[in-house]
Structure 1
Amino acid sequence: MNEHITRQLREAAEAHQPDRARMLARVQRGAAGPAVRHRARSGLRSWPKVALAGLAAVGALATGGLAMAGIGSWTPTPSDTVTTAPATPSPTVEPTPTPTRSAPPPAAPAPATPAPPTGAPTGTPTGPRPTPSASSRAQNGPLWSEASIDPHSTVFWAQSNLTLRTTQPLTSLTVELRIAQTGDVRDTGNWRTLPVDDFTVTVQETGGALVYRWVLKPGRTVPAGQHEFAGQYNHATGVRGSANDGYRVDAQSAGGSASVWGGFPPGR
């Protein structure tokens, strides 16, 4: 009888279709609290105790295996899935570019030397001294003189300079520059290092030359030292010859009267 019961139980277990929902509910209740005892069915009370014990053992084994199989194959429903929020990406720090040292700008070309403005001195003449001749006298009494063509002169403009030195104060002085008319010679200005108000200045074309004349006003005095006089003029384009140019200085000092005169070196 026991083998018959065992065989029936085995066949019943193999043919049993587990109720998945009920098993899950039982597993959940078991995890939540103590197991609830159920009343045994009334039909089983007539079975012998040995049959009931075997049936209970086989049933427990079958139920437990099915429950474990159900749990192993159970896939959580969408409501049980835990969604993890994506981690906030750390801000990307861009590397700071290394500053590149720029090449220095090219040096600006040196400005061309402009022609000296009208009425402005250009410094001590550096041109060659005129060759002494019977028609020139560069030194007399307290006076010493030297004529030159200014180095800033160009092919269409020139300046004739006269340097005058005196070792004594002068109470009378007349300075005259004669610029030969070699073609389109026209006055563009003049200057001197002595006070403007001390002289009367005239510029006129006469005898085939442009003549600059400075005359010391009465009651004025020229101190001892070096002084400059200059005449400025345009001329025909090209190298201008100055062989026919000249100067003359007449002065009066405590030692008496003195005069110097001479010509200019070759022009440019």
Structure 2
Amino acid sequence: MNEDIDRRLREAAEAHRPDRARMLARVERGMAGPAVRHRARPFARSGTRVVLAGLAAGGILATGGLAVAAIVATPPPSPTVTTPATLPPAVSSPPPTSARPTPVTPPPATTPGSSRPAPSATGPSSTPTADESRNGPLRSAGSLDPKSTVYWTQSDLVLKTTQPLTALTVEIRIVQAGGAKSTGTWQTLPGDDFTVTVQEADGALVYRWVLKPGRTVPAGSHEFAAQFNNGAGGAHSPAGDGYRVDAQGTGGSASVRGGFAPKR
């Protein structure tokens, strides 16, 4: 109910436009009328009019003031606050297939102390030569490696055994024609199983592999190689070179020896 009254008062105050000049003129006319001394009633009536006019003007002004005060007291509307929408967390996408690293094939393994890749598990392959030797469980063949050049040579010895060996000594002798110098050795059997030495004796390079005590050479095909620079003599001739193998197995001792056939 109070809200309805406040609304009506506010609307009346907004619509009312008091004419102050007209109101003052009416008051002045009332006061300026002819004075009649012998009649008191007219004077009282004029005074009453002035009082009523003043009261009316005061009421109008009071009503307007109340309306203005109500308008001023009305709080302004609250500003609308917009809450930003919550965005979903960012999800990283996996890299495209093209950006993923391509697996790299590792290089072939090499035997410790060797400059030549280790042979496959199927055993070393060698070119058959006429210089072969057999004794008991042993079979051997010597040849020049096909990779040999006029500056460098590798002499290969293939040793096959049908029985495990508990003792083994392999010796390769290279004639030092032209001043040949050793550049290394390698073997297909584990290097830790042997004591390997290279010496110069009687005009030859002597390469020796000795199986360490407690080690065993399994039955199968095994390879030993001697590497050297040819010196000033150019391409190396295997004439005068040779090898010797002494072994001990479950069936007793056995020995083989021979030379190195030229590469074909």
TM-score tier by shorter-chain length is 0.5 to 0.7
Counterpart-to-counterpart distance in 1, 2:262 and 2:220: 27
Once the two structures are TM-superposed, the CA of residue 241 in structure 1 deviates from its matched residue by 1.0
**For residue 257 of structure 1, what is the amino acid of its counterpart?**
S
Tell me by how many angstroms 1:183 deviates.
Answer: 1.1
1:253 is aligned with what amino acid? G
| 1:159 and 2:154 matched | yes
Contact 2:131 2:142 in 1 (8 A): no
The aligned counterpart of 1:184 is: 179
Taking every aligned residue pair, what percent have the same amino acid on both sides?
A: 63
Conserved? CA contact 1:165–1:225, under 8 Å: yes
What is the TM-score with the length of structure 2 in the denominator? 0.52
Q: CA, structure 1 residues 252+219, in 2 after alignment: closer, same or farther (shift >3 Å)?
A: same
1:197 match: secondary structure? helix
* Pick aligned residue for 1:149 from 144, 147, 158: 144
Tell me, yes or no, if the aligned pair for 1:241 and 1:266 is still in contact at 8 Å.
yes
Code of the residue aligned with 2:200 in structure 1: it is E
| Cα-to-partner distance string for 1:164-192 (whole Å, 9 max, x where unaligned) | 00000000000000001111200111010
Q: 1:147 to 1:207 in 2, by over 3 A?
A: same
Could you tell me how far 1:157 is from its partner in structure 2? 0.2
- Among 227, 236, 240, the alignment partner of 1:232 is 227
Corresponding position of 1:259: 255
| Structure 2 residue 197 is matched with structure 1 residue 210 | no
- 1:3-42 superposed matches below 5 A: none
Which amino acid counterpart does residue 164 of structure 2 have in structure 1?
A: P
Give the Cα separation in 2 of the matches to 1:209 and 1:146: 20
TM-score, normalised relative to structure 1: 0.52
Give the distance between the partners of 1:227 and 1:140, measured in 2 at CA.
16
Q: How many angstroms apart in 2 are the aligned matches of 1:154 and 1:239?
A: 7
Within 5 A, what are the aligned runs for 1:55-134?
118-121=114-117, 124=124, 126-127=126-127, 129-131=129-131
Total equivalences in the alignment: 148
CA distance in 1, matches of 2:260, 2:215: 29
- 1:175 match: 170
Contact kept, 8 Å, 1:130 with 1:264, in 2: the verdict is: no
Structure 1 residue 131, shift from structure 2 partner: 4.2
The structural deviation recorded for 1:207 is: 1.3
* Contact 2:131/2:258 (8 A) holds in 1: no
Structure 1 unpaired stretches of 5+: 1-116, 133-137
Matched with 1:26 is none
Is the alpha carbon distance of 1:121 and 1:252 closer, same or farther for their aligned partners in structure 2, counting shifts above 3 Å?
Answer: farther
Could you tell me which residue of structure 2 aligns to residue 31 of structure 1? none
SS state at 2:213 partner: coil
By how many angstroms is 1:125 displaced? 5.2
Give the letter for the 1:258 counterpart: A
Shift >6 Å, 4+ stretches? none
Q: Give me the CA root mean square deviation.
A: 2.2
Rate the CA distance shift 1:195–1:150 in 2: closer, same or farther, 3 A. same
Match of 1:197?
192
Give the Cα separation in 2 of the matches to 1:129 and 1:122.
22
